[in-house]
Every structure is written in C-alpha cells, then in structure tokens.
Structure 1
Amino acid sequence: MRVLGISAFYHDSAAALIEDGHLVSAAQEERFTRKKHDAGFPQNAVQFCLDRAGIKLQDVDYVAFYDKPFLKFERLLETYLAYAPRGFTSFRMAMPLWLKEKLFQKTLLRDEMKKWQPDFDWQKRLLFGEHHQSHAASAFFPSPYEEAAVLCMDGVGEWATTSLAWGQGNKLEMLREIHFPHSIGLLYSAFTYYTGFKVNSGEYKVMGLAPYGEPKYKNLILDKIVDLKEDGTFRLDQSYFDYCTGLRMTNDKFADLFGAPARTPEQMLTQEHMDLAASVQAVTEEIVIRLGKSVKKETGAKNICLAGGVALNCVANGKLLRENVFDGIWVQPAAGDAGGAVGAAYAAYHGFLGQPRKLNGHMDGMAGSYLG
C-alpha cells in the first residue's frame, strides 16, 4: 500500500511517500527550484519520491493533501465579515487569487497529477486532511512511542492555531484546539515583522537575536497583549494587530506600546530590537512550558510529540525538555508546513485506510532527517 502526501500552494511545498507504513522518501520543492519557501506545486519533489521508490504514479494507491481549502476559505470570509468594513483592501487583494486558484485546489491537484497519469481515478484516490491533523500525524506516527500526547503550534491552519491530540497505536484523536486569531505563531510573526524581518521566513532570526537582549518587555506583553492562563491557553488583544484586516502584522497602537515604529529591513539593529526579540522569546517559552504541563496533567502522558512551525523553536523545546515534565520529547524534524506532506500521507495510511502501525522498538520512523 502506497500513499503520496503533498503540501503546496501556501509556502514550503513538499512531497512524501509512504510504502506499507514506512516513510520511503520526502523532499521539499525549494531544494530543487532553489526558490526559498517555494509555494508552487512540488512536481520535482513528487518525481524525486517516485524515483527513490523506483515506481510510477500509477503504482500509488492514494494521494493525500495536507489541508482543506474550503475550511480555510471559510475562515477568511468569516474574518473579513467580522471586521467589515475594515480590511476591504486586503479582501480585495485576496479574493481574486482564491476565486481563481486556491478555492479549486482539487482541480489544480488533479490537473498537475494528470501530467504523470492521465487515467488515474482522482475522484476516489485524492484525499484531504485538516492542517493540524496533518501536523499531529507527522509528529506521532513516525515517533518511537506506542502512545503519546501530541502538541501542535503554528500560525494558523484552517481555524486551529494550537491543538492537542492523543496518539495510540494507529489511532490519533484530536482533543482540543485554540482557534484563529489567537495564535502563538502569529504573535511571534508579529514581532518578526516589527523587528524588520520577513514573516514566515525570518522567525529564526528573532530566535537567534534573543540571546543578545534582555526580556524587559515580557511583563508588558503579558499585561497588554497576551492574556495567558495558568493552563497555557491564551488570547491575543487584537487591537494591537493588523493581520486580520490589513496588509501588516502590527499597527500604530502596537508601535506606540513599544515607543517606536516598526524597523525597516535597511535600518541597523539596535539593543532595543534585541530586547524585543528576547521578550517575545521568553513569552513563547512560558506559553510552551505551561501548555506542556497542562498536557501532562490532562492526559498523564509519559511522552509528547511536537509539530507545527512553533516547534521549530528549538530554544523553547529545550526549555520544555529541561522542565522534566515528560520522559521523552520527539519533535518532527520538518515541523513546519513541509512536514505536512509527511503527516498527510501518514494520516491517510493509518486514519483513513486503518492500516496497522509497526514500531521497530527503538528508532523513530523518519530514518534521520535526510530523506530528500
């Protein structure tokens, strides 16, 4: 039984192939096109996966896509309606692309795949999973654990921005979620934007900048922007942000709170920017640790698996590890959307098809991080 997983059309397009429960190959499209975060259909990555397995597309039983475009479009529409008439400029720019392409991704996928196999039965063999379900599957199913809690944190999928799941054997149950616009990932991206780096690309620079600063704004962020509860759940005060309705991550109120406009990429970094980076990093670590402790209390899990873009924050992961809340922590190496291709394939294989999961006793199922 072979399942080809695909993530595409937003950023970090990728493909992954599972054969009889084993991850045979996985690759990100940017490695072939040399376009960083390439969002196009991953035709090179797909061909690589097929070549690595020595098969053709006709030998694949199912193709699984990593999220559900209609749910994402629903979130987009509901957000614009909730904030109307604010956000009309952003709405006007987003709608043509959605109505022309993104809303009809099933057709796009089918047309791309027909280039390989014109007579492939796409009505029965093309599957769609939810975004956080794909993240959770990418974290649990390749892990070395028979059972584990699964915590996924990112910017936003369809609606979910943070989710908790329970994995056992070949089963994965989504337990609870925090929904857009409240998001750790978008909070971090807002500070990425404010400190002059590119959103969905420069977050690692903020993490790298943090050790050079002092978290002197941590309490201000928790007092004014983030309503953080003891169990790690949170809400963001949307009056400081512009990502729901505008073309920026933060607004003038956000700038007034920190006493300066957003840095432009051309401006020199100052100690103030380092302190801002240290502060949002400290807040992120606090949220991750509280969520981890809450997960332990709720599930009693000995082990936890992490995925989603926030799980790429290795400093926060290290802080959680040193809290000794869990016996084991396993992080999906491709924790961002590229790993959604791996998760989509696993979710289809175990969830949709009900195929058994076999552990090898000691190693995880990724066979290292160098699959493609």
Structure 2
Amino acid sequence: MKKSTWQLYNFEPLVLKNVDNPTILAFSCYFHDSSACIVKDGKILAAVDEERFTRKKHDASFPINSINYCLQTAKVKTVDFVVFYENPDLKWQRIQETIKKNPPSEEARNRIVKLWTELKFKHKISETFHQKTGLNNAILFLDHHLCHAASSYYVSGFDEAAVVTIDGVGEKITTSYGQGHGSTLKLEKCINFPDSIGLLYTAITVFLGFKANDHEYKVMGMAPYGVMDRNLNPFYLKLRKTIHLNEDGSFSLEMKYFGHESFDSKAYTEDLIDLLGLQPNVKEGPITSEYENLAAALQLVTEDAVFNLLNHVQKATNQENLCLAGGVALNSVLNGKILSRTNFKRVFIQPSAGDSGTVIGAAKYIQHLLDRNAPTEHMVHSSYGPEYSSQEIRQFLDEHNIIYKEYESYDEVIKEVAMLISKKNVIGWFQGRMEWGPRSLGNRSILASPIYDDMRDILNAKVKHREMFRPFAPVVCLEDASTFFECDMPIPEPTDYMLMVYPIKNDMKKKMPAVTHVDGSGRLQTIRENQNLLYYRLIKEFGTLTGVPILVNTSFNIRGEPIVCSPMHAYKCMMGTEIDYLVMGRFLVKRIDNIKDIWQPCVID
C-alpha cells in the first residue's frame, strides 16, 4: 500500500465587494480549446469555443471572436468583471519544478521561456486582453480545478452535492474533491502532478498511435473491440502495475513508465514498452487485436481508479448528488456505470466538461462570490452558440447561386426530412443556436437512419472520413429511452449531452444496428420536448414512419475540422462529403443539384 496522495486544497479566496447582479466575462486560451462565456442577469447568455470561428480544431489562440460574440449576444460593451480560467503563476511554478528535476535541452528550455515571455504570464495575458478587446477591466485569475468544479456544481440544479474533478493537470492539481452547499462551493482535498489519471490515459493514447489531448475518445471507442474481462485481458494486470490505488481513494503513478515529468520525453518510457511486451503503434498505424486489448485494459484500469476515488468521496461527504468535471468526465463509458458502481443517487455533468468548459465555472464562481443572493442556475440545454435567421440563410444561398427549396412551415420540413432519412439519405441538420461542448446535440448534427446494417460504414467512410471502428450515437426522446436501453432510472441528465453509454436491450439491437456498438452498447443522447421541439418532433415522425423512434446523430464536421458554425461551413461540409441533403431552417439543399460546388477534402487529423 502506497502512502496517501491526498493533500489539503489550498486556494487563497478572493476578497471582492458585493455586487448585485454582475455581468461577468470569462475566457481561456494558450493551452487547448480556447473559449469564452458571459453571465448576465444571473444566467449564462453565451458560451463558445474559438475553433468554431477560426476553423482550426482545438484552437488555443486568444479567443477574440468568442469574446466578441459573447459581448454582442449580451448586448453590452462593458462588463463588471473579467475572469481567466487558471492561475499562470502556479502553472509556471510547476514548470520550473519540472525543469529543475529533469533539465530539458537548451532548445526546449528556450522554447518554453519564449512562449511564456510572449504570451502566458499574467501581465502578458492582461496586456493582450486589453489590446484586443478595448476593455480596461483588471483580470481575475482563478484556480483551474476550482473552475472545473464550479462549471458543474453551479449549473447542476442541486442544492448540495459532492464535487469531483479529474483531468490531466491544471496548474499543479490533477484531481480534486469538495462539496457545494447552496451558493457556496469549497474544494477540500486534491492530488498533484505528476500523479494523474488523465495523463495515464493520454500516455496509452499516444502509445496506440493517436494524438494526445485530442484522440482519447477514439481509444474509448476502440476498447470494446478488445477483451473487457479483467481475468482474461492480457494487458490488464500489466497496466495495473503502472498505478497504485489506495483505500482512501487516492492514487499514484509508477513514474518510471511515464514521461510527463520531462519536456524532452514522450508520454511513455521504454520501461512501459518492456512491461507491456508490445511495440508502440505508429501514427495512423493498423489497429491489431493487441492494440484493441490494450485500449480495453486502459478503460478497465481507468474505471478501477475513478470508482475507487468516487466511492471514497461519497463516504467522506455523505452526499447523494455528484457533480463531475474535467477531461476524464467525458469518458461516457465510465459515466454510464457511476450510479451502479457507487452509492451516489444522482449525477450531473455539463456538456463541455473538459478545459473549454472551465469558463462557465470561472464566470459562475465569481457571480456567486459577488452576489450571495444570486439565484442558482440549472443548465437544461447546450444551445449557447451563434444562430442565423431565415433572412441570413436565404441571403447566403442566393449570393452563392445555390439551388434550394424553401418550405412554408416546419411541419412540412419535419415530414420531408423524416421521409428522406427513412429512405437512407444522410442529412446535414442546421437549426437554431450552435451547441456548447464537443458534441453535436441536434442543432449542428448529421442525421441518418439507424435501421440499416451498413449505415455506420457509409457514414464512417463516405461522410466522416474516419476510422471504421468508430461508433455512432443514437438519439431518442426521453420517454422512449427505457424501451430500447438498459439505463438508470430515472434517466440521468448527462444523457441529454451524450455523456453516458448504456447497453442496448437484446431484443432491440436488430432494430438499430447502425448505433449498436460491438459490445451491444450505445452512447445515447436523450432529448426532451421542452429542450428542442423541432428535433424532438423529427425523431417522433421518423418513429411513426419506421417503428423505431431513434436517429443516428453525429457531429456536423469532416474529420479533423471543428463542428460547423455558419451556413457557409455547413454547405462546404456537405459538398465535401456524401451528405445527401442540407436542412438549414426551412431551407432544403440537395447536394446533387449543386454539383458545381462539389470538392474533395484533404483530411488532416
């Protein structure tokens, strides 16, 4: 048994004068997934990732487009407070400690110093903000994991809850827990770098030939192709040697297997190669059964660590409600087991649980710090991004000489699109405000029928241009979910954001083969009538036609690109893939009617 790695969480609380009903702008940048959010009149009015505007996936640049969008949506030119999602001083301390422990090459050291000197120190962030926005607010810098925690708790709708954050690393912290009571949120314990579940997952992701801080979800999707039995998987016991789990829920990594304590190393070491008895895969290399088994072992070990942690937190806090955040909270396979593997009764995860979502936490934390009487907010949708009016869509179509059909009512749109999907057409669905977070949830989605055996391969090969092992998500109206899935009851809210995987009932698998993963599971999205009426009605109409009230829903993008934001992005995506129809508002565009604009994408992942 290793020594406990829990430490007391020490964050010097900000002392701010009370401000009733403040307007707060929060932003993140310079690591990955830059973003911005604005809170006004006690509510989140806008939240968006910078990548959606620049079309650069995981764009880490200063989020000027996102900030401008937030200000415009809130109809303000000034704000009361501006908040940054982490504390650069503490992150720089950790970097200095790493450099001292494992001195990097002169080239690496110079690169790090240059990056920080030009961009990342507090004064440079403030200087850039003031220059680019014209706002003169002093910037408040919060703790990264506190922002994660607040991003879940303050929009959960819970009056009290245990709060847990798990990611790669913030400034120094990799894992934390605490409690929320009313408008007060306090973190109590934390685990520091280099011990990190997120960095363990990233190391194996890189070992398997995928990209760090990007392709972890692919590894999760690949895992069910391997042996998901701890007694039979050939890599499970080997991988368990890389992490020590303690009875108090804490953990530590066996660092000889990992390289994240050195700036000149890979994410893993030669010792890990020797331990596994397996050579790392090359980028885009073939996926063998050995790599599938390693992905499965990683999922199993991750679940061991997280459930050990969560069960300790539940006992320590005696809470029935759980709020979860951080990159590891995007592991929907794990999430689907939380209520069955722990004593928590309810769980909430907001749709952008990774780093981009910290801006919501930053803004909401400061809101409740300033205004103790601020009402709690319950996030019941993810539609915080830009939207386009019928006039704007029509203008785009006309200016580009695009052939289209306009319907007089949405009733007609629903009937036509449901019929097209039932006849095996693939639809680009562009409606309302763009979603917040990494998932398309019915406003910027590619939709298809789940009833055809070959639909998954069609979508992977001809539309998404991605690995053939990748599964697709089923979307189902909330009241129909228990008919098709073996899910927790009542169905947890994170299913609204495609954040939980559940088994598909055996007698239903043959009815929806396109969304049934190799292990018989589905990463379902539930939709409620009051969330997105148009989307809800489309699913119901498809069910009337086919007897299966479920659609395939996948993100509206080409592999390697962000989800579409504007009509131009949507049209370009359709014309560079084999999407058959694009539906924007009440406008229907048929791909083969516009062959002049067909193009072949150069897919870069």
- TM-score (ref. length: structure 2): 0.57
- C-alpha deviation, 1:325, in angstroms: 1.4
- C-alpha deviation, 1:79, in angstroms: 1.5
CA distance in 2, matches of 1:109, 1:261: 45
Pairwise mapping of residues 227-238 of structure 1 onto structure 2 (< 5 A)?
227-238=244-255
Q: Does 1:74 align with 2:93?
A: yes
- C-alpha deviation, 1:369, in angstroms: 1.4
CA distance in 2, matches of 1:366, 1:265: 38
- C-alpha deviation, 1:202, in angstroms: 0.4
More contact order relative to length (CA 8 Å, sep ≥ 6) = 1
Find the structure with the greater CA-based Rg.
Answer: 2
Give the one of 257, 268, 274 matched to 2:275: 257
**2:37 is aligned with what amino acid?**
A
- C-alpha deviation, 1:87, in angstroms: 6.2
Residue aligned with 1:78, SS: helix
Cα deviations across residues 50-95 of structure 1 (Å, max 9, x unaligned)?
1211222x2x1001000011100000001221234x6666434322
| Higher mean C-alpha displacement, 154-163 vs 285-294 | 285-294
Q: Does 1:197 align with 2:197?
A: no
Q: Does 1:54 align with 2:67?
A: no
CA distance in 1, matches of 2:174, 2:185: 18
Give the one of 126, 135, 147 matched to 1:109: 126
CA distance in 2, matches of 1:357, 1:284: 37
CA distance in 2, matches of 1:135, 1:28: 16
Q: Does 1:24 align with 2:37?
A: no
Pairwise mapping of residues 282-301 of structure 1 onto structure 2 (< 5 A)?
282-301=300-319
Give the one of 58, 66, 76 matched to 1:37: 58
Judge conservation of contact 1:289–1:319 (CA < 8 Å) in 2: no
Give the one of 120, 132, 139 matched to 2:152: 139
**2:215 is aligned with what amino acid?**
G
CA distance in 2, matches of 1:354, 1:244: 41
Residue aligned with 2:117, SS: helix
Cα deviations across residues 111-159 of structure 1 (Å, max 9, x unaligned)?
3334332xx443xx42110000100110100111011010000000011
Residue aligned with 2:355, SS: coil
Q: What are the ranges of 5 or more consecutive residues in structure 2 without an aligned counterpart?
A: 1-21, 386-605
- Superposed CA RMSD in Å reads 1.6
Report the equivalent of 2:191.
178
CA separation of 1:110/1:94 partners in 2, compared to 1, >3 Å: closer, same or farther?
closer
The count of residues paired between Structure 1 and Structure 2 equals 358
Q: What are the ranges of 5 or more consecutive residues in structure 1 without an aligned counterpart?
A: none
Judge conservation of contact 2:245–2:308 (CA < 8 Å) in 1: no
Residue aligned with 2:336, SS: helix
| Higher mean C-alpha displacement, 146-155 vs 16-25 | 16-25
Judge conservation of contact 1:66–1:344 (CA < 8 Å) in 2: yes
Judge conservation of contact 1:127–1:348 (CA < 8 Å) in 2: no
- C-alpha deviation, 1:110, in angstroms: 3.4
- C-alpha deviation, 1:98, in angstroms: 1.7
Judge conservation of contact 2:118–2:124 (CA < 8 Å) in 1: no
CA distance in 2, matches of 1:206, 1:297: 31
CA distance in 1, matches of 2:145, 2:56: 25
CA distance in 2, matches of 1:181, 1:313: 21
- C-alpha deviation, 1:346, in angstroms: 1.0
CA distance in 2, matches of 1:254, 1:92: 29
**1:266 is aligned with what amino acid?**
E
CA distance in 2, matches of 1:116, 1:2: 16
CA distance in 1, matches of 2:373, 2:209: 47
Q: Percent identity, please.
A: 41
CA separation of 1:90/1:259 partners in 2, compared to 1, >3 Å: closer, same or farther?
farther
Cα deviations across residues 187-216 of structure 1 (Å, max 9, x unaligned)?
000000000000000000000000100152
CA separation of 1:357/1:241 partners in 2, compared to 1, >3 Å: closer, same or farther?
same
CA distance in 1, matches of 2:295, 2:82: 40
CA distance in 2, matches of 1:172, 1:130: 13
CA distance in 1, matches of 2:142, 2:249: 27
Judge conservation of contact 1:288–1:320 (CA < 8 Å) in 2: no
